[in-house]
Structure 1
């Protein structure tokens, strides 16, 4: 049995949906196939920020960067991993993509006008405006299709309610100290409880879920045919050209203009990870279970090659393991808490090993370097009770949320003394006492002589503006003291399919596989395995999805 369309897209994360929406807008018939029973991939679980320098949202706000600035910054950060052709394609198309989506689809943006790049001390670093995020979206706009939307994870939500970085998050963090913040948070919680009662899920979509919701609405508006629960068996290849896909039931779905691979990389493929991921057996991924490397396997079967020459194979993030009462085990990403004033990261010897307020990718890099092979790559984030109630720690929420149940579940270690806390964690008591004593000596003056927290714009943004003189530094004094074990994890993979500036899959000789594209984490990272800014996964995913959809739609049939 055979059927035909113009373009087939595999995967419904940011890359796949953007490719589908772009191609459909340009007049192509598009079929989007998703392996899972729900849409959104790992994007739906993400913070949703998008790195897109010189985007129109920033320009409207008066941020007009010279064209050379982001290029200079990326060259400084990527070094020998800088790929001129692909980086130039990204820098040119990223603002075009942002403008295209806001002008022609249901996607609307909010600007990260005050978010600096991670290495804000490097030449060309942006001090704000290079990031955008999808505006909140009312899921009622999806109609019956809301049932296809992947729900956010329990670990990073409040009973399924997603909180957006920025003013929304700050309101929740300060609701016990600010009446306007209390009103904002209360209204959001009441609306969420109403939605749970009437819809059995949150309908106020934010972060990555808002982006996916808006893209799904756009795909439906442009008559993209969406099929879920479909795992493609193989690509159809005729005379060296990819002409479609073979479906599980034996149906041949022909694609006259091309196939786009956007299956989410290989974070759940332990076999492929084995030769690439440091401490592979210990490493814990935050990606969806269906991200098992299907796109890479399909590309290789059609003559494409996989690149493993990135500086790191994945987008690292420190995580802690959460065990829920129903037996579910999941990972919590430590994105927000590390840079807040009054918490430090230590090893089993009780010593600090990094600047906790730099990027989350850097935290894991430092952990892997600090712990010798043969020793588990474990660290602990340690704080006092003031910090726990003000900011929370990992999955433990700040006040007024209760915290003692997390002690009973073994997630949060707590004791009235530093020595007792160290004993519970398996940390050297003397080393931890000395470290906290040294930390406090500097912290009372707002200083961190060992690692210089709070000395860049990026670090200061992660801190608490009410903490003076340094938003990232405060002493650890008030018992009881608390700790959470933190280990290496990642959001998704950096290694992936070799592609060119048009998102075309490349063969070993560097020539494109006709009719085949790859975007998102299926494709090798355009940033060479580095993490120069927040949103460097979803930004290129949308951008190269846009490039792939545009190029494929313009092919002659």
Structure 2
């Protein structure tokens, strides 16, 4: 059948997101040829845009730092969080167990390929209070990366939304907003200034977050000899006698058929930017609120469905609350609001002036709660309500603490300002007595150092999101210093969380549970192994890497066995 193809390779990867280069590295070390097809002119997918964090339990960096973890502890945590799911076939006990076993092996493999990674010292699991939860956290990130090491490929790496003028790691960036109030952070800032000067003198272009992770992965894949092509959209799978044997794509502007001896891995993202698919599966949400890459349009999920693939969890997404200041309406990257409303001196209220959730915790749970509230009470958008203490201490929509806010924010009604809580309620068109009662009740909780309604600040993650300089609780602070302010908050997302159903080898399954031979999938093209929850930072990027690794190993082992 090879004569029917314009080109034949061992393995084809559709998309260049999180797990693509990982899969390519596995197969290249096995001596197999790999072709990665990226439909846009930029490599890296939404992973490159993100913070580049991977949730990988029992990783070698935890062992190095003597941070307690194990397969058993992580399995207990996932079972405590999601064991009761009955409608999440991507998250079977068998798949969760395989994920936990393969995650540390995948990290060891990448380290062996020269990909420089490390853990964040503290980034608690999002439900750290549950049995098996980790307060230090299970997150892994890439070390800072010099973009110039990619040569001409540097211009093809999708930029990260983690943008800062100084060469700071993700961990360092998280500390910088406190630079006016902490001598330790002032010292960190000085260190970063010297690093920036040295980078300028030595011609380095440091990047962090997802750009660092995908930059390092791209570099490793290129060194290993993977063939990576941009502007090469895949229009369809080629199926022969029930097995996927290749793809239809474009080369030099012309239709091109590529055969794949060992299989095809789909890692083409979800459907966060496809409003029609959202209307079908995620009604009430908008692509305009998403932080996913513009190419996240779902056509490969639909293509796999056309060939009999089962789908599940399509009504789930990685919710991430956003606020949209003037000028950002059509921007690909919008300010997130998680750390904003989780900080002291700030709460979230619905359009009636009532508080209805813990402003800390999982951003996926937060966005779900907004949509659920909106079914009975207008809550999209909701309003972040805060006072002058907040503006002096914390960032707002990407602006630094204490800075003057753009006049357009006030003129266009984005940032509301009033001398009293009641006057602020009037600007928000909500009952003044309702907002006043809500603020007074919250202030009472602050005084007693206990949020009796939603337990904000009782888990380590809530406190981590808050302000370590705020005592006695990093998560709680009174709203009592005028003027008072409010900005709208929307239930945005960083991507969808449902897709095709895969087995413990990352093979795509039909509705009857049978395998579609030759077809693998990873990332948010699949129904997540985390089901309907987000256990910790990197709960989608980590699985993309791990299942890409698993799929490639399975294909290589099949080839070695002669099957």
Both proteins in one fold, TM over 0.5 = yes
TM-score by length of 2: 0.91
Which ranges in structure 1 are unaligned for 5 or more consecutive residues? none
Residue 357 to residue 250, structure 1, CA distance change in 2 (3 Å):
same
* Kept in 2: contact 1:459–1:472 (CA 8 A): yes
Residue in structure 2 matched with residue 260 of structure 1 by the alignment? 265
Residue 400 to residue 322, structure 1, CA distance change in 2 (3 Å):
closer
Shift of 1:143: 1.4
* Kept in 2: contact 1:45–1:152 (CA 8 A): yes
* Kept in 2: contact 1:396–1:403 (CA 8 A): no
Residue 73 to residue 407, structure 1, CA distance change in 2 (3 Å):
same
Shift of 1:207: 1.1
Partner Cα distance (1:26, 1:371) in 2: 52
Residue aligned with 2:461, SS: helix
* Kept in 1: contact 2:275–2:287 (CA 8 A): no
Partner Cα distance (2:429, 2:167) in 1: 34
* Kept in 2: contact 1:385–1:479 (CA 8 A): yes
Residue in structure 1 matched with residue 316 of structure 2 by the alignment? 313
**1:443-496 Cα distance to aligned partner (Å, 9 max, x none):** 134332222211112212112121111110010122222211011111111110
**1:111-133 Cα distance to aligned partner (Å, 9 max, x none):** 13432211122111122242111
* Kept in 1: contact 2:143–2:169 (CA 8 A): no
Partner Cα distance (1:280, 1:472) in 2: 29
Residue 338 to residue 163, structure 1, CA distance change in 2 (3 Å):
farther
Residue in structure 2 matched with residue 388 of structure 1 by the alignment? 391
Residue in structure 2 matched with residue 538 of structure 1 by the alignment? 541
Residue aligned with 1:513, SS: strand
Q: Confirm or deny that 1:446 pairs with 2:445.
A: no
Shift of 1:177: 2.7
Structure 1 residue corresponding to 2:67, chosen from 52, 55, 63: 63
Partner Cα distance (2:97, 2:232) in 1: 35
* Kept in 2: contact 1:157–1:163 (CA 8 A): no
Structure 2 residue corresponding to 1:157, chosen from 154, 157, 163: 163
Point out the more displaced range, 183-192 or 85-94. 183-192
* Kept in 2: contact 1:113–1:130 (CA 8 A): no
Shift of 1:521: 0.3
Shift of 1:373: 5.4
Residue in structure 2 matched with residue 418 of structure 1 by the alignment? 421
Residue aligned with 1:420, SS: helix
Partner Cα distance (1:190, 1:59) in 2: 32
Residue in structure 2 matched with residue 239 of structure 1 by the alignment? 241
Structure 2 residue corresponding to 1:212, chosen from 208, 211, 214: 214
Residue in structure 2 matched with residue 370 of structure 1 by the alignment? 373
Residue 285 to residue 168, structure 1, CA distance change in 2 (3 Å):
closer
* Kept in 1: contact 2:244–2:264 (CA 8 A): yes
Q: Confirm or deny that 1:350 pairs with 2:353.
A: yes
Residue in structure 1 matched with residue 301 of structure 2 by the alignment? 296
* Kept in 2: contact 1:321–1:329 (CA 8 A): no
Residue 290 to residue 217, structure 1, CA distance change in 2 (3 Å):
same
Which ranges in structure 2 are unaligned for 5 or more consecutive residues? 86-90
Residue 124 to residue 94, structure 1, CA distance change in 2 (3 Å):
same
Partner Cα distance (1:359, 1:350) in 2: 23
* Kept in 1: contact 2:57–2:70 (CA 8 A): no
* Kept in 1: contact 2:274–2:287 (CA 8 A): no
Residue in structure 2 matched with residue 230 of structure 1 by the alignment? 232
- Structure 1 residues 84-483: aligned runs within 5 Å: 84-105=93-114, 107-153=115-161, 157-158=163-164, 164-170=169-175, 172-185=176-189, 188=192, 203-248=205-250, 249-281=254-286, 284-308=289-313, 312-324=315-327, 328=331, 330-372=333-375, 375=378, 377-400=380-403, 404=407, 406-408=409-411, 410-483=413-486
Partner Cα distance (1:483, 1:157) in 2: 25
Point out the more displaced range, 546-555 or 367-376. 367-376
Residue 424 to residue 396, structure 1, CA distance change in 2 (3 Å):
farther
* Kept in 1: contact 2:265–2:521 (CA 8 A): yes
Point out the more displaced range, 286-295 or 175-184. 175-184
- Structure 1 residues 28-67: aligned runs within 5 Å: 28-67=32-71
Structure 1 residue corresponding to 2:515, chosen from 503, 506, 512: 512
Shift of 1:297: 2.1
Residue in structure 2 matched with residue 15 of structure 1 by the alignment? 19
Residue 80 to residue 275, structure 1, CA distance change in 2 (3 Å):
farther
* Kept in 1: contact 2:142–2:209 (CA 8 A): yes
Partner Cα distance (1:498, 1:13) in 2: 19
Residue 327 to residue 207, structure 1, CA distance change in 2 (3 Å):
closer
Partner Cα distance (2:327, 2:310) in 1: 40
Partner Cα distance (1:16, 1:493) in 2: 18
Shift of 1:550: 1.6
**1:333-353 Cα distance to aligned partner (Å, 9 max, x none):** 223223211110001111100
Partner Cα distance (2:245, 2:332) in 1: 41
Residue 212 to residue 120, structure 1, CA distance change in 2 (3 Å):
same
Residue 550 to residue 415, structure 1, CA distance change in 2 (3 Å):
same
Partner Cα distance (2:133, 2:430) in 1: 38
**Aligned-residue CA RMSD (Å):** 2.6
Residue 328 to residue 291, structure 1, CA distance change in 2 (3 Å):
closer
* Kept in 2: contact 1:237–1:244 (CA 8 A): yes
Residue aligned with 2:222, SS: helix
Residue 212 to residue 355, structure 1, CA distance change in 2 (3 Å):
same
Shift of 1:192: 6.1
* Kept in 2: contact 1:35–1:229 (CA 8 A): yes
